[in-house]
Structures are given as structure tokens and as C-alpha cells.
Amino acid sequence: MARPKTAQPNHSLRKVAAVVATAVSGMSVYAQAAEQPKQEETITVVAAPAAQESAWGPAPTIAAKRSATATKTDTPIEKTPQSVSVVTRQEMEMRQPTTVKEALSYTPSVFSTRGSSTTYDVVTIRGFTTSTTVNTNQYLDGMKLQGITTLKSPWILTSSSVWK
């Protein structure tokens, strides 16, 4: 049996590719000229100064960092040698208390009940009540409240501080 003849591959395509590659490799290629860097605009960012907390003003956060309760001066709470608890205006707005008793309800060592009438609340701090003869030194804006008078409404307070 005779074998049939098969077609031989045409090598002319390889020859054309070799000629094109040789022609292209002979061309000179130049690098692009580097661009001059552009002068960027200067942007100046100016931050507003942070709100400075004061012992007599409203605290910008729920946790006060300053109090005038123990020393009668604008002192950081961590530098006060006594325990000071502050209920800030922001906390009062969040919890919406209707009485000072409710505003102080989350303060440690403070227990508050209704007084003998609905005009005042009796606040007990570490066992000492405002209705006893013990001087509990209640102040409003630095002025001492006389007698057993306590505030019923928290709406006029920017904060309430308890010094223990």
C-alpha cells in the first residue's frame, strides 16, 4: 500500500515574520522627554480651636473633665483629692429628667426621695441627708442655698456636681 502524500507546511509565513522582525528592530526608539513637574497648589487647613471646658460652663461632652465643686476653682477632676461626680447638661438632655432627684439617680452614693411636700426632694449623699441638721453645703452658682431648700426642676442647671 502506498502512502498518500500529505501537504508540506508552507514556511513562507515564517520567512515574512523574520523579515518584519528584522526591519522593526533596526528602528531607533527614543524615550519620551520628562515633563516638568507642575507646581502644586498649597492648601492650608485651619482647624477651629476645640471648645475649652470650664468648671462653670456647660461641658461639651457627657463626661465632664473639670469641676469647681471641691476647690471652688476651675480644677481638673483628676487633680481633685476627693470624689466628684458631675451630671452634665448633655446627659440631662439625653435622659430628660423632670426633677433633680431623677438627674442624680445614676450618681454613685446618692439616694434621693421626695421631701415632706412635692416642692423639694431630699437628697442623701453617703448617708447624710439634706433634711437633717448636718450641713450638706448646697450651692447654686457659687451661692450657698440656705436651709433645706433644694431645687425641684433641673431645667435651669447646666450641670449638677456632687462632692463626696
Distant-in-sequence, close-in-space partners of 58: CB < 8 Å, separation ≥ 6:
88, 89, 90, 158, 159
Residue 69 sits in the same domain as residue 92: yes
pLDDT in tens, 57-66: 777 788 888 8
As to burial, measured by CB atoms within 10 angstroms (0-12 exposed, 13-18 middle, 19+ buried), residue 87 is: buried
- Digit-coded pLDDT (tens) for 115-163: 666 666 677 887 777 655 455 677 777 777 776 555 667 777 878 888 8
What pLDDT shows up at residue 35?
A: 78
Q: Are residues 151 and 132 in the same domain?
A: yes
Looking at the fold, whether 137 and 151 belong to one and the same domain comes out as yes
Model pLDDT for residues 13-24, shown as the tens digit of each residue? 777 777 777 766
Whether the pLDDT of residue 56 is over 60: the answer is: yes
Domain-ending residue, one of 46, 68, 96? 96
Residue pLDDT, tens place only, 37-49: 788 888 888 887 7
Residue 62 belongs to what domain range?
A: 56-96
- The pLDDT score that the predictor gives to residue 148 is 55
Query: Do 61 and 83 contact (CB within 8 A), yes or no?
Result: no
Last-in-domain residue among 44, 65, 96: 96
Residue 7 has pLDDT above 70, yes or no: no
pTM of the predicted model as reported, rounded to 2 decimal places: 0.57
Say yes or no to pLDDT of 81 above 60: yes
Q: How many domains does the chain have?
A: 2
Cβ(82)–Cβ(164) below 8 Å: yes
